[in-house]
Structure 1
Amino acid sequence: MANYETLLLLSPELGEEGRKEIMEKLTGVISSENGEIAETDEWGMRTLAYPVEKQTRGYYTRLVYSGPGPLVAELERNIRITDGIFKFLTVKLDTKAA
């Protein structure tokens, strides 16, 4: 299993309950695809360098997880269809760097 990191930019209008709901959905997708979550890191509300969908602030969350290759495709599919997520970036982590 490979290690991955996904950075999510969530809408500031969601509120804590909305963010929690989205994160539960995404962690459920990871679990259902035989993945394991290593770390969930909430960076909090930040000012954006440029407006995204007319928003100047966003809530950043980082997920670190491991799993098979198809897991990333399914997770990104769910991210794309979830309201409240502006942007995301997934990278495969180098196992030698740790």
Structure 2
Amino acid sequence: MRHYEIVILVHPDQSEQVPAMVERYRTVIESTGGMIHRLEDWGRRQLAYPINKVHKAHYVLMNIECSDDVLKQLHSAFRFNDAVIRDLILKRDKADTSQSPLFKIKEQEEGDSSHSKNRDDNDPSGAGEIGNPDPDTIDDGVMTDTQDDAQETGDESGDNETE
């Protein structure tokens, strides 16, 4: 049996069906003695370019070990499933069981968003939100160089109109 890495892109309207699809592919692989070494659901992500006028897709990554016949069966299942808008099958030398860098980033983003949400909930003054700055950090009447430059360019255009 050989090792393969499979990435499938599912139409975003069919995201609810992804767990059922993955389970169906899992039974096909495991019923013939194959193994799934890594299974990652990356969720909905922006596509680099539109595919059939779709700008987002639900990504799923699988590292599997299976025979050539099972791989052909999976590939035909991907082709004839309207929900799968793209699939990529790569032959690998060995099983890869570590988390992918993209999955690690996704987990960090989920952890950061829940952490920042908790931090905002604990701040009753609302000083941490955009639009409600902390009054202790505001400089009264102090302008930076970029603000001075912006005002000078605005004043020059105003002077030309009055002459």
Q: How does 1:61-72 map to 2 (within 5 A)?
A: 61-72=60-71
Percent identical residues? 28
1:17-49 superposed Cα distances (whole Å, 9 cap, x missing partner) = x11111111112112332111111111111111
What residue ranges of structure 2 are gaps of 5+ in the alignment? 98-163
Number of residue pairs the alignment of both structures matches: 97
The amino acid that maps onto 1:27 is: R
Instruction: Select the structure of larger CA radius of gyration.
Output: 2
> Relative to 1, partners in 2 of residues 1:96 and 1:45: Cα closer, same or farther, differing over 3 Å?
closer
Structure whose residues are more often strand by fraction: 1
Alignment correspondent of 1:5: 5
| Larger relative contact order (Cα-Cα within 8 Å, sequence gap ≥ 6) | 1
Question: What is the CA deviation profile of residues 53-92 of structure 1, one whole-angstrom value per residue up to 9, with x for unaligned ones?
Answer: 1100011100111011222111101111112100000011
Could you tell me whether the CA contact under 8 Å between 2:38 and 2:96 is conserved in 1? Answer: no
> Which amino acid in the other structure matches residue 14 of structure 1?
Q
2:46 matched to 1:23? Answer: no
Distance 1:74 1:96 in 2: 20
Q: Distance in 1 between matches of 2:14 and 2:96?
A: 35
* Superposition map of 1:45-84 within 5 A: 45-84=44-83
Could you list the structure 1 runs, at least 4 aligned residues long, displaced by more than 4 angstroms after superposition: none
C-alpha separation between the residues in 1 aligned to 2:89 and 2:7? 6
Distance in 2 (CA, whole Å) between partners of 1:69 and 1:96 is 16
Give the secondary structure class of the aligned counterpart of 1:14: helix
- What is the RMSD of the two structures over their aligned residues, measured on CA atoms? 1.9
Q: 1:42 to 1:96 in 2, by over 3 A?
A: closer
- Where structure 1 has 5 or more consecutive residues not aligned to the other structure, the ranges are none
